[in-house]
């Protein structure tokens, strides 16, 4: 990364650092990266499934991890990444109240100027989705700019399957080639077009407990793709 001149952010949880767990970085290594110009981001104490915790537990995860960063590094990270990309309105509000400037989920998509700073997309590049082809796809993706996304809260309760819909910004054309895919069913999802720019996805099945995703894509010039993704969460408790 340094040889290529590529900036990057390391999101880390403080619990494994404090416990000195094997195969994890230690505080000295994090300090070395920070001194070299790497941006350090917060990912709570324990990397827990935040929607399954109480509000007080979530607040403690945020505040205690910030305190440990301050003690060890001399500063509090400005950026936050929700563990596993799981968050709803409650987690979003608490993250902003605690003092972060922006927060990332793990729903595929391309950030743009009108994006919610506390719900920024983040393509997964890991053991399953880490091929060079996948990296090129993500690096060349363009934003599919939408607004009026429903439901407002991505943590689901009785509204499962969710009444998912969005409106596409006026600047985009070729909307007849828009497709959406849900992780809980095979093939393209049924889309209902309401008027010129409003789209609603009709899901046949409820999402199981844990994470569920919908990705909407549309071809763009030069063999690129416009991309908008959303991740839902069905609590494992209750």
* Domains along the chain with CATH numbers: 9-104 (3.20.20.370), 142-234 (2.60.40)
Q: Which two tokens stand for residue 164?
A: 């998912």
Kind of pairing between the strands at 142-143 and 224-234? parallel
pLDDT in tens, the chain (238 residues): 889 999 999 999 999 999 999 889 999 999 999 999 999 999 999 999 999 999 999 999 999 999 999 999 999 999 999 999 999 999 999 999 999 999 999 999 999 999 999 999 999 888 888 899 999 999 999 999 999 999 999 999 999 999 999 999 998 999 999 999 999 999 999 999 999 999 999 998 999 999 999 999 999 999 999 999 999 999 987 5
Q: What is the pLDDT of residue 221?
A: 93
**51 touches 155 (CB < 8 A):** yes
Q: Which of 69, 166, 75 is nearest to 116 (CA)?
A: 166
Main-chain phi, psi angles of 191, to 5 degrees: -115, 130
Q: Determine the Cα–Cα distance for residues 233 and 29; give it in Å rounded to an integer.
A: 33
Q: Which residues contact 135 (CB under 8 A, 6 or more apart)?
A: 125
* Other beta carbons within 10 Å of 15: 19
What pTM, to 2 d.p., does this model score? Answer: 0.94
User: What stretch of H or E contains 132?
Assistant: helix 132-139
Question: What is the per-residue pLDDT for 126?
Answer: 85
Radius of gyration of the chain (CA): 19
Q: 71: which DSSP letter?
A: H
Tokens of 135: 């990296």
Cβ–Cβ < 8 Å for 231, 85 = yes
- Cβ atoms of residues 52 and 235 within 8 Å: yes
* pLDDT of 238: 59
DSSP secondary structure string for all residues of 68-85: HHHHHHSS--SEEE-GGG
Backbone angles phi, psi at 205, to 5 degrees: -120, 150
Tally Cβ neighbours within 10 Å of residue 112: 13
Nearest to 83 by CA among 102, 105, 61, 64: 105
Q: Provide the pLDDT for residue 127.
A: 86
SS3 content of the chain, % helix, strand, coil (to 5): 25, 30, 45
Distance between CA 203 and CA 190 in Å, rounded?
Answer: 7
């Amino acid at each position: 990364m340094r040889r290529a001149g590529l900036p990057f952010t390391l999101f880390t949880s403080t619990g494994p650092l404090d416990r000195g767990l094997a195969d994890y970085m230690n505080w000295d290594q994090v300090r070395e990266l920070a001194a070299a110009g790497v941006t350090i981001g917060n990912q709570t104490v324990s990397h827990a499934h935040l929607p399954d915790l109480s509000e007080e537990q979530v607040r403690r995860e945020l505040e205690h991890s910030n305190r440990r960063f301050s003690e060890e590094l001399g500063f509090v990270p400005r950026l936050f990444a929700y563990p596993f990309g799981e968050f709803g309105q409650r987690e979003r509000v608490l993250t902003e109240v605690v003092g972060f400037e922006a927060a990332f989920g793990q729903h595929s998509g391309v950030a743009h100027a009108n994006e919610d700073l506390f719900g920024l997309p983040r393509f997964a590049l890991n053991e399953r989705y880490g091929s060079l082809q996948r990296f090129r796809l993500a690096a060349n993706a363009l934003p599919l700019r939408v607004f009026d996304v429903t439901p407002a809260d991505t943590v689901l309760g009785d509204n499962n399957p969710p009444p998912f819909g969005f409106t596409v910004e006026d600047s985009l054309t070729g909307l007849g080639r828009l497709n959406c895919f849900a992780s809980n069913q095979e093939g393209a999802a049924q889309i209902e077009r309401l008027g010129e720019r409003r789209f609603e996805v009709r899901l046949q099945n409820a999402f199981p407990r844990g994470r569920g995703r919908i990705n909407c894509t549309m071809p763009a010039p030069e063999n690129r793709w416009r991309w908008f993704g959303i991740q839902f969460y069905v609590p494992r408790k209750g």
